[in-house]
A and B are shown apart, each in its own frame.
Chain A
């Protein structure tokens, strides 16, 4: 067999209306086995509606989709057996212990006997909770709770996993740990469909789709998206000890400067997209100095997906 990648999620012209409102509008894409597929968009752009349809929880108004070979409209039961789903809202029972939650989900997926015991042990391992199985779920920090939710969505070893904003409100350390698990799963052949507002996480996806007002307006690898949607050179301007006031002084100086396409504050620095003639060493710094911002250091940087997101959404 040639190594044609196996399509696990196939979406063709998927549409969902709520009354006059079109939440998802003629969306088509496919996801292959072992891929981490990022699905981005502003609040209300149609991300969750898409996921709910693909999980067989919501019937599409139009179009069709298959998930692990099952048609979402005609065989929602088969879809549900082959997927794991972790919703935005916390899906565990806060008043049950770690083990009790896993026990419940193991029963929900009809696991029994030795397999059940083995899967539950693996889930505890995956969540990093092997030594805290009797802890009440509500007493766990947010990051660990999310990992437990992930582990319980994986108990039945689904080939496809849908994660809807799995790291909302989770601190950076815990987010890293969470994504380590996600990448590990993808390497093991699980297909992952993830929505997130953290664009540094989206960089870790193999491919990223961008939703704006129900439409899929871009779909590519992170590098491809940057090349297409934020062309030009990206420079990063720092202000040394200037802090936030310095950042704002830089942004004020950039306003109306020829050759500058746009800028965004990124933490302590400002990302500036410029024409090639401004990209040469010292050019932008000189222009800034002319406008009274002397302490700026300028270095070349990669455009981030946040630049892409902002460019697409504000278009």
Chain B
């Protein structure tokens, strides 16, 4: 506790529990995110990601445990919490009939920014989101990517210390998605703590740390590279123009744990213990396809951990 100032987490959950009726949506969830850290929460639909985020930002009251943002208890929802928190819900959260400027002005007033501070912030945020020339456009006339960037700008107006994003790139095209991510890195470099939920595994792999949520529980948590290193199975790539035939033929080979079409062929996950048998069978079974080992990626980790946990 001596080095409180340097090490105090920007976002923290301790033993969070939340039930809806008889279903336990979040169960004993603990996490801690430092300033300047980008943390990704991944998990299948219904794993409790949104509930976890809502508990952290104080939109839900926990049945057990406690969440804090910059030291302020989330569910008490006090002024300190709001001043240090930026939040972007999954759903459309801005006013479609108001312009970019009007939306920003509205949130600026709610956060009580002085007019010089506001002008400075808006100029900066519109600059980094490249929205300056669309200031007068109504929010519902923006493309999906631009809308998300505006929502992000609104959540950042008051210089929060922690930013919580619920599936920020849902429905956003790949180019805008990359732009949003570049933006996130800029913010993290400035010392912002970012917690986001995402269904995209390539995005999860680009976080500093990821937490894998399944059935409301955190079943794994580490740096993506470390999780990939700890991956015990082997990954192979089978080049096959006739993907369907290859899939059928490979399906029953020993050790095959997962098969999925991937680019111009199939990605195969094989249990390490059976790898030898698998390769032998592949060579002997008159398979006309080309097999080569490949590096496992984060999506492999996610898939196998999810399957194992089920």
Q: Which residues of A contact B (CB under 8 A)?
A: 41-45, 88, 141-143, 165, 168-174, 176, 179, 183, 187, 197, 199-200, 203-204, 222-223, 238-244, 246-248, 264-269, 299, 302, 304, 306, 309-310, 313-314
**Which of B105-113, B165-173, B273-281 is the interface stretch?**
B165-173
Report A-chain residues with C-beta under 8 Å of the C-beta of B244. Answer: 183, 187
Chain B contact residues, CB within 8 Å of chain A: 38, 43-46, 143-146, 167, 170-178, 185, 199, 201-202, 205-208, 223-226, 228-229, 244, 260-264, 295, 297-299, 302-303, 306-307
Residues in A with CB closer than 8 Å to B38 are 244
Residues of chain B with a CB closer than 8 A to A299's CB: 295
Contacts of B44 in A (CB 8 A): 141, 143, 171, 173-174
Residues of A within 8 A of B172 (CB): 43, 197
Q: Are B302 and A172 in contact (CB under 8 A)?
A: yes
Enumerate chain B residues within 8 angstroms of A183, measured Cβ to Cβ: 244, 261
Q: Is the pair B225, A169 in contact by a Cβ cutoff of 8 Å?
A: no
CA distance A220 to B151 in the complex (A): 36
A239 to B298, CA, bound (A): 14
What's the nearest-Cβ distance from chain B to residue A105, in Å?
23
Q: Of B38, B44, B228, which is in contact with the most chain A CB atoms at under 10 Å from its CB?
A: B44
| CB <8 Å contact, B174 and A306 | yes
* Interchain Cβ contacts under 8 Å between A and B, 19 examples: A42-B176, A43-B173, A143-B45, A168-B171, A173-B303, A173-B307, A179-B261, A197-B172, A200-B263, A203-B264, A222-B264, A248-B185, A264-B178, A267-B201, A267-B297, A268-B205, A268-B298, A299-B295, A306-B174
Known contacts A42-B173, A268-B206; A170 and B229 CB within 8 A of each other: no
Q: Which residues of the other chain, B, contact A41 by a CB distance below 8 angstroms?
A: 173
7 extra A-B contacts, CB within 8 A, seeds A142-B45, A243-B225 = A44-B143, A45-B173, A168-B170, A197-B177, A246-B225, A268-B228, A310-B175
Is B175 touching A313 in the complex (CB atoms < 8 A)?
yes
Distance in Å: Cβ of B21 to nearest Cβ of chain A: 11
Asked whether B295 lies within 8 Å of A169 as measured between CB atoms, the reply is no
Q: Could you tell me the distance between the alpha carbons of A266 and B205 in the complex, rounded to whole angstroms?
A: 8
CB neighbours of B261 from chain A (8 A) = 179, 183, 203-204
- Give the chain A neighbours of B302 by CB distance below 8 A: 172
A173 CA / B308 CA spacing, docked (Å): 12
**Could you say which of A143, A179, A242, A265 has the most chain B C-beta atoms within 10 Å of its C-beta?**
A265
Which of A88, A143, A248, A268 lies at the interface centre, i.e. has the most chain B CB atoms within 10 A of its CB? A268
| Complex alpha-carbon distance, A299 and B294, angstroms | 9
| A309 to B177 alpha-carbon distance, docked (Å) | 12
Known contacts: A42-B143, A169-B199, A309-B174. The answer to whether A243 contacts B208 by CB under 8 A is: yes
Q: Determine the chain A residues whose CB is within 8 A of the CB of B173 once the complex forms.
A: 41-43, 45, 197
Closest 9 CB pairs of A and B: A267-B205, A141-B45, A43-B143, A43-B144, A141-B46, A42-B173, A44-B143, A142-B45, A267-B202
